[in-house]
């Protein structure tokens, strides 16, 4: 990593947040494995049509505890990377806000799937903190409605069945095409269009490093694959990058 200061793009998925107590979805111990029907709780059609789905969804948000979760060493390592002065952009599939809470500037984090830290009314579009809605659930409201108009509240996330914000996606694609090093952390690289960012980076000549506990479809074309636990592997990888040591210089497979 010599010459110009390299642009580093990091795509993060659910795996980076599991050590903060937030379960992933598709891993061997993920939510979908434990309860295949749980996917309807974050699918826009059933969520809007069925009050019972919404009630179960609110209980899931309460029990997951994402609002109260704290950053772990993986998140903190990326904040350290940013403080090193190297150009960095974090593209996250997560909605937990832990990158920002770890110290990363808002402008350097692109939330591809929105945020679960706020809710929005599907009728009047009024936004309010998720914590306030969960307080209402704890107080006995199983399906809290919009305080302004009585409409259905949903998290400010991109649910299954909804399209990503085209402006956000365009920015993410531009970053992937411009970066010199693309690091995919805690993602199986199976959810598109986010997973396609890795291919865009490769096509533009970037090195691809994958840090994940399970195999991904991109492993054969990655320049480096790291299988160690993320809270150990990512801090070690960041130390290598900051020190200017070789990263992703030998293609896997």
Say how many residues make up the chain: 253
Check if the beta carbon of residue 86 is closer than 8 Å to that of residue 79: no
Q: Are 102 and 75 in contact (CB under 8 A)?
A: yes
**Of 199, 152, 193, 165, which is closest to residue 179 (Cα–Cα)?**
199
Alpha-carbon gap, residue 175 to 200, rounded angstroms: 9
- Tell me whether residue 113 is one of the annotated catalytic residues: yes
Residue from 75, 99, 113, 223 carrying the catalytic annotation: 113
User: Could you tell me if 200 and 173 are in contact, meaning their C-beta atoms sit under 8 angstroms apart?
Assistant: yes
Q: How many CA atoms lie within 13 A of 35 on its CB side?
A: 12
CB 216 within 8 A of CB 185: no
Rounded Cα–Cα distance for residues 56 and 170 (Å) = 34
Which positions ≥6 away from 233 have C-beta within 8 Å?
Answer: 211, 226, 227
User: In this structure, are residues 54 and 226 in contact, taking their beta carbons and an 8 Å threshold?
Assistant: no
Which residues are part of the catalytic machinery?
Answer: 113
């Amino acid at each position: 990593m010599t010459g110009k200061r390299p642009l580093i793009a990091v795509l993060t998925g659910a795996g980076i947040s599991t050590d903060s107590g937030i379960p992933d979805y598709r891993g061997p111990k993920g939510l979908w494995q434990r309860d295949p029907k749980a996917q309807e709780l974050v699918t826009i059609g059933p969520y809007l049509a069925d009050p019972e789905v919404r009630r179960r969804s609110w209980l899931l948000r309460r029990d997951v505890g994402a609002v109260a979760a704290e950053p772990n060493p993986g998140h903190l390592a990326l904040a350290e990377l940013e403080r090193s002065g190297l150009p960095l952009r974090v593209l996250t599939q997560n909605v937990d806000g832990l990158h920002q809470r770890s110290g990363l500037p808002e402008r350097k984090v692109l939330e591809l799937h929105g945020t679960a830290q706020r809710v929005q009314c599907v009728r009047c579009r009024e936004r309010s903190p998720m914590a306030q809605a969960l307080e209402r659930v704890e107080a006995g409201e199983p399906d809290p409605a919009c305080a302004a108009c009585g409409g259905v509240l949903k998290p400010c996330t991109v649910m299954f069945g909804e399209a990503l914000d085209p402006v956000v996606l365009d920015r993410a694609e531009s970053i992937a095409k411009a970066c010199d090093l693309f690091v995919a952390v805690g993602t199986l690289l199976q959810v598109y269009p986010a997973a396609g960012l890795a291919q865009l980076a490769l096509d533009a000549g970037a090195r691809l490093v994958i840090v994940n506990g399970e195999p991904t479809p991109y492993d054969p074309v990655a320049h480096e694959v790291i299988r160690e636990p993320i809270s150990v592997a990512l801090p070690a990888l960041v130390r290598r990058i900051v020190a200017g040591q070789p990263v992703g210089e030998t293609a896997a497979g």
